[in-house]
Structure 1
């Protein structure tokens, strides 16, 4: 399982950085980000986002916050994942 580095938040302090990779074999996007603060976690844990779907985050999943400065890296990661999976479409096909 090789990871292709896409980018990291250049404005993140203390050497810790939200980071984006694309996994070569599965074409999955892998994201490192900040954990939600208690207020945001409570909001996530008590809101029914999809009718009939359980509230909260299942134990096998996690939530991270991604700063707005990471948007270009997320776009690049999406494009790389689509190419890796053979799904890349031109802008005219979208």
Structure 2
């Protein structure tokens, strides 16, 4: 796996560190974020979308990323798109 570090929450403290990377080999975005509270996780699990099973599969997770990290997420999207062109 070749991770490209994109950025960390600019308001991070010692222990809080929402982070954005790009897996260049798999061309995927990788996020580290906060675990949601049980209410948000339950709401996400109950959300119905056509063609999508209700619930959160065991190999998936809901995470929270602060909106102030949007520029980093855009940068990560650009990096993934550049990798796809190669």
Unaligned segments of structure 2, at least 5 residues = none
Instruction: Report if aligned partners of 1:19, 1:33 keep a CA contact under 8 Å in 2.
Output: yes
Structure 1 runs, 4 residues or longer, greater than 6 Å off: none
Q: Give the paired residue count.
A: 86
User: Which has the larger displacement, 69-78 or 19-28?
Assistant: 19-28
How large is the RMSD of aligned CA atoms in angstroms?
1.5
Unaligned residue ranges in structure 1 (runs of 5+): 88-94
What TM-score does the superposition give when structure 1 sets the normalisation length? Answer: 0.82
Instruction: Give the greater-gyration-radius structure (CA).
Output: 1
Which residue matches 2:20? 20
Determine if the alignment matches structure 1 residue 80 to structure 2 residue 79: yes
Q: TM-score, normalised by structure 2?
A: 0.89
